[in-house]
Amino acid sequence: RLPRNVAAIYLRPLRRTPTHGLPVCDLQLRSFSVRQLTLAADFAMRAAYYLHLPAKGPVPLPRITERWTVPRSNFVHKKSQENFERVTVRRLVQIQDGDGEVVKAWLGFLMKYCVSGVGMKANLWEYEGVGERKGVEEMVKEAEQGMEGRWNLFGR
């Protein structure tokens, strides 16, 4: 019989349940190889579980197919052409109800230790409370006061 931590490798990654369902991060993984992509998505899901981040996915996204035709030789032999095709496979992992600092640590961990040949693109969202707007207004006033002398010289 295998130990628990070894047996967990052969099972699907564990998941945490989100409390509110607010999306914090969308991570899109892209690769030309399906094997590397599934390995990277599995790695991202396991890392999210151990960092206590509720994650959904990996959701398969539509494939991107690029095709182009190139002549095999020049001038007279135009009729003999060669066709090429490149298919990009994508997966989406969404983090919900996570702390911004933990999500950034998760992304940094993935950037450092993820599978080679897999590209990543992340969209992050930050949410603020209602009472925090006062701080933003004060920052705008300070910036306007600092720029008053400079705006007088503008256009000269």
Q: Which one-letter amino acid corresponds to residue 73?
A: S
- Quick check: is 4 in a domain? no
Instruction: For 50-90, write each residue's pLDDT tens digit.
Output: 999 999 989 999 999 999 998 888 777 777 889 999 999 99
Say which residues have a Cβ less than 8 Å from residue 37's Cβ, sequence separation at least 6. 29, 30, 31, 89, 90, 91, 118
Domain total in the chain = 1
What whole-number distance in Å separates Cα of residue 7 and Cα of residue 2?
6
Instruction: For 119-148, write each residue's pLDDT tens digit.
Output: 999 999 987 766 666 667 787 888 877 777
| CATH number of the domain bearing residue 110 | 3.30.70.600
Range of the domain at 128: 9-153
Read off the pTM: 0.73
- Quick check: is 145 in a domain? yes
Report which DSSP code applies to 152: H
- Quick check: is 62 in a domain? yes
- Quick check: is 112 in a domain? yes
- Quick check: is 3 in a domain? no
What value, to the nearest 5°, has the Cα angle with vertex 33 and ends 65 and 87?
A: 5
- Quick check: is 39 in a domain? yes
